[in-house]
Structure 1
Amino acid sequence: MRRLSSSMMKNKKVEADDPFLPQEIIRDILIRLPVKPIIRFQCVCRHWRDLFKDPSFIADHLYHSNRQNPCILFQRGRSDDNHSDLYSLGSDMQVLRFQYPPLMKHFNHGKIVGSSNGLFCVQTDRLRYSPHPLLLWNPAIKEVKLVPEADLCLVLYPFGCCDIGFGFCPPLNDYKIVVTYVKNYFEMFKVYSLRSNSWKEVKYRLDARNICYRVTVNGVMFWWGEKNIRKDHGEDFEMVLFSFDLATEVWTVIPMPEHHSSTLYQNLMVYEGKLAFVFCTEDFEHTSIHLWVREEGVGASGETWNWTKKFTSNPYPSSRLFPITMWGNEIFCRIFDSESTNTVLFNPTTEKFKNLNISKCDVWYQIFNYVESLVSVGGTKSLTKFLKRGAHLVECRQ
């Protein structure tokens, strides 16, 4: 065996003792960490602090969080003796209390009206606390932003005659809030952009009523609505879907997929990155789940989008099964029987139902998909500064 020279042995020793890791590997490790340790690691060095604010790092971290750590968030009814009415259910099936930061407690919790990429759109519960009826909140980084008012108080209070949608627009890398309401018999829409931090008003004739936001998919919001159908004997309404493209801000009417006349409950959700329509039918106290997916492709009548039926489940022994949302590759459902309320997961691949023991969440009013993220709302984490600003704005209004 050839003997190594002293210089070669020295170089080998240096390489063996050197703890250096390439920056690419370090970055690949960091994007897989939860938000809490990342926030702590900001003080390690300036390079890491800047890295955690880099848009590409934030996007990659969000991508991995969506794949590894999605959870379901429940918002329960308001309780006078409990400052936290949020609970989360993770992949380990453990129900944990979701703590509000002091900023949210000041607004008496509020109502979460939308969730996207770890951000919440919150409608404040009591107008007297602030002239701002809407907030944007990232609970993972404890950041809250006041949404400019834009006369929304006249819309949101006191009648609540509107509906609110919140979602992400990938083409513009922007988050938008859409508020619908009726004014002088016209449907009016106020659209807020987080990037510009401003509102714009859109007037559009939908000839519809009971517009209700359901879900955002790939930068397009989808709403339920009853469209006015003019017939020989007068007018009638039928249930249709409306899409609102967050990039172009254009409304489109979408026909519903075929579904059985015995449909009990139905919902819109996201299935494998596409819009999905899920509904349940009853047959002798058993319920079946049906899933349709909206896919791109030329249909029989020449349309560029069409509905494709994915499956119909085996009957489940319950007459009141309500589909809520997709969680991973399973459908999250609630069962409303005469004596109890239960929660199940339905797996479309195995066609099996799994009961969830989450008694802490038996009584809830809102449910959202949630994942921790580093996405900033451009707000503040300082309670003192936040409250002083809110108090000043309230005085200005008075």
Structure 2
Amino acid sequence: MENLPHELVSNILSRLPSRELLKNKLVCKTWYNLITDSHFTNNYYSFHNQLQNQEEHLLVIRRPFISSLKTTISLHSSTFNDPKKNVCSSLLNPPEQYNSEHKYWSEIMGPCNGIYLLQGNPNVLMNASLQQFKALPESHLTDSNGIYSLTDYASFGFDPKTNDYKVIVLKDLWLKETDERQKGYWTGELYSLNSNSWKKLDAETLPLPIEICGSSSSSSSRVYTYVNNCCHWWSFVNNHDESQGMNQDFVLSFDIVNEVFRKIKVPRICESSQETFVTLAPFEESSTIGFIVNPIRGNVKHFDVWVMRDYWDEGSWIKQYSVGSIELEIDRLMGFIGSNRFLWKCNDDELVLHEHDSQKRRDIKVKDYGKYDDSFRAVVYKESLVSLQRGK
């Protein structure tokens, strides 16, 4: 082993799953220095996960409704070549403090370099590979000027300039005196992992007034859409001029590095928000954004896929393709992978990964709590050596 070139040893070790790789830190000082080197850690994410592209790995979180049943986090793997091959193994158990009835996660977002954000009470950053949880501190910003918040929308990303992970939370504003919402107005807070603290974004940076669309529809969950160092939300601006008709839709973008917002114009494709639901998604391995349009009412039988060909050109939107006659009892869209793979949750509590081009599908059975099932989220799983413990 001592005679093997350094590059060859690095290549071999990069092929190991993170759990096995960490054990090899104990082999010798040379291997310890290699595995803990920041260059190796950063390259491991892209190199190792690229080797796994023949299989799809999904991270599934389920939170039962009753507190006596614990939240489960499991890893599911299968291949298109052998759709019946479905391996499910328990990945990690959340710390006990997250299993009380007052703790919950309503969304899971990621991966960003193998890091995930669990949004809820509390907000938590997680590296499933290293079995690390990092609960975000509560904001020290108190309600002021007779204003409070009820709804928030979170996302997160990596700032390569400062080697920092940042979480942004947008909160609606309500007036305490009248208990009415200030329509179109929000406040923003930004968390830094490096400093482990929050700061309030200047009100002047938010492009107000603007409304942010939620994911309350049963036909979709939020899909993590972090592209080109920017977080994204589907939004609209109230059109007070009745002669101009319906509201105008936008994509609201937040640049994690420069900490600025941008409004991206989109084609007018929604005749009615009561009949159509739009899901933002990353496209082409997160090089640009797109959206999927499907009807709200009834089982989803058809939908359209739009993509922004050039992320920096809001005039480059095209309808990529349409899909129809889906023979599935679909509950909601859980995610979108690459440019043609859809992750659906079906009414029988199965996950189905459907590839548009080949028309292949994989059925993935997940542990069922039946009537006790309260929260079900699934995202792509990626191995990572990125530590949430800063300075280590």
Q: The TM-score by the shorter chain falls in which range?
A: 0.7 to 0.9
2:209/2:237 contact within 8 Å kept? yes
Out of 57, 78, 83, the residue aligned to residue 91 of structure 1 is 78
- Residue 296 of structure 1 corresponds to 310
Matched residues, number: 347
Normalized per residue, the structure richer in helix is: 1
Structure-2 change in CA distance of 1:285 and 1:27 (3 Å): closer
Amino acid at match of 1:174: D
SS of 2:39's partner is helix
Counterpart Cα distance in 1 of 2:90 and 2:231: 30
1:175 aligns with 2:165: yes
How far apart, in 2, do the equivalents of 1:297 and 1:217 lie?
A: 9
Paired letter, 2:50: R
The residue that corresponds to 1:343 in the other structure is 351
Q: Which residue of 2 aligns with 1:100?
A: 93
Amino acid at match of 1:289: F
Residue 353 (structure 1) shift: 4.5
Give the 3-state SS of the residue equivalent to 1:331 in structure 2. strand
Alignment of 1:233-272 (within 5 A): 237-259=247-269, 261=271, 264-272=276-284
Equivalent position of 2:138 in the other structure: 149
Who is 2:19 aligned against? 36
What is the deviation of 1:360?
2.3
- Is the Cα contact below 8 Å between 1:104 and 1:110 reproduced in 2? no
Change (3 A) 1:141 1:297: closer
Q: Say if 1:268 and 1:278, in contact at 8 Å, map to a contact too.
A: yes
Cα distance change, pair 165–81 in 1 and its aligned pair in 2 (3 A): same
Counterpart AA for 1:373: S
Post-superposition offset of 1:371: 1.2
Taking the aligned partners of 2:10 and 2:279, their CA distance within structure 1 comes to 39
Which residue of structure 1 aligns with residue 3 of structure 2? 20
Q: Name the counterpart of 2:63.
A: 77
SS at match of 1:90: strand
Q: TM-score, normalised by structure 1?
A: 0.74
Deviation at 1:176, TM superposition (A): 1.0
Structure 1, unaligned stretches of length 5 or more? 1-17, 126-132, 382-398
Match of 1:117 among 105, 113, 117: 113
The Cα shift of 1:171 comes to: 5.0
- After alignment, is 112-121 or 228-237 more displaced? 228-237
Counterpart Cα distance in 2 of 1:100 and 1:319: 31
Distance 1:169 1:326, change over 3 A: farther
Q: 1:282 to 1:82 in 2, by over 3 A?
A: closer
Would you say 1:67 and 2:67 are equivalent positions? Answer: no
TM-score w.r.t. the length of structure 2 is 0.75
Unaligned runs of 5+ in 2: 80-85, 176-181, 215-221
Counterpart pick for 1:221 among 218, 231, 235: 231
Deviation, structure 1 residue 30? 1.0
Tell which structure's C-alpha radius of gyration is larger.
1
Map Cα deviations across residues 348-380 of structure 1 (whole Å, 9 max, x no partner).
322x15251415258543222221211011169
Partner AA of 2:239 in structure 1: I
One-letter code aligned to 2:353: L
3-state SS, counterpart of residue 312 of structure 1: strand
